[in-house]
Amino acid sequence: MTLRRQFQRWFGRYEISDPRPIAADAPYTFELPSENELLAVAPGDLVKLLFRSIPAGEWERERMWVIVTDTDGVRMTGTLDNEPADMPQLKAGDRIRFDRGHIIDISWNEDRATPPPPASASRDYWDRCFVDNAILDGQRQVEFLYREEPDPPREGDKFPDSGWRIESDPPDAFDVDSGNPPFSYVALGAVLNRDDSWLHLIDEPVGSAFERDPGTGLFVPAEMPVEDSE
């Protein structure tokens, strides 16, 4: 065992992170249970929490399941149902105290009725796209986007390519093959977390292209980029 892990075991602490500020910063990729679902959690249910090690371990936070054993209004108690990956100050079976607002996911006890899903379930934005890294870094806004035929699935892909190609510069400045400017292949929601001004266009069909009008700041139809012939 390394000295750091020995120190964590002897002196380390942990806290349960409040997920609401995280969800506020990433509304399209970090969805929390509804208020009705949180209020319905009872002993026997499994809930997922965000654990933060103090001092920090290899990861900033670990997501782990807890079996609820007792509830007292907002306050709840349970037992850890995971073996932590990098938090030696915790082990499966440890008693955990937390608030309902700390819950990020719920697995309902099969022996009881569960609350109905929210009337308007939020949409997922996990399909992939190519995007200029300057947008992901928050340095630039979306200026030009177009939708081409999606790339075929790659081995290990969990979500398909949407076909969207999203740029922070005018047309022809973005070259996926050369990586100039640098680009990433990420979830649509990761782009929307930074700039959702184009959300109303997300269901436009393949062959669509739009650019931001510098005068109004609104998106207007544009020409699809022309691929270079070899």
| pTM for the model | 0.72
What percentage of the chain carries pLDDT values higher than 70? 84
Q: What is the pLDDT of residues 94-123, one digit of tens each?
A: 999 999 999 999 999 988 777 777 666 678
Q: Does residue 144 surpass a pLDDT of 50?
A: yes
Pick from 27, 50, 24, 40: which is nearest to 103 by CA? 50
CA–CA distance from 78 to each of 82, 84, 91, 113, 139 (Å)? Answer: 12, 16, 13, 20, 43
Parallel, antiparallel, or unpaired for β 128-132 and 161-167? parallel
pLDDT per position as a tens digit, 40-93: 999 999 999 999 987 766 677 899 999 999 999 999 999 999 999 888 888 999
Q: Which residue, among 85, 77, 78, 102, has the nearest Cα to 17 in the 3D structure?
A: 102
DSSP state letter for 149: P
Instruction: Inform me whether the pLDDT recorded for 5 exceeds 60.
Output: no
Quote the pLDDT of residue 228.
55
**How high is the mean pLDDT of the chain?**
86
Rounded Cα distance between 167 and 132, Å, is: 5
Nearest to 30 by CA among 122, 163, 127, 130: 122
Angle CA(14)–CA(16)–CA(19) in degrees, nearest 5?
145
User: What does the alpha-carbon distance between residue 145 and residue 136 come to, in Å, rounded to a whole number?
Assistant: 14
The CA dihedral of 104, 105, 108, 114, to the nearest 10 degrees, is 80
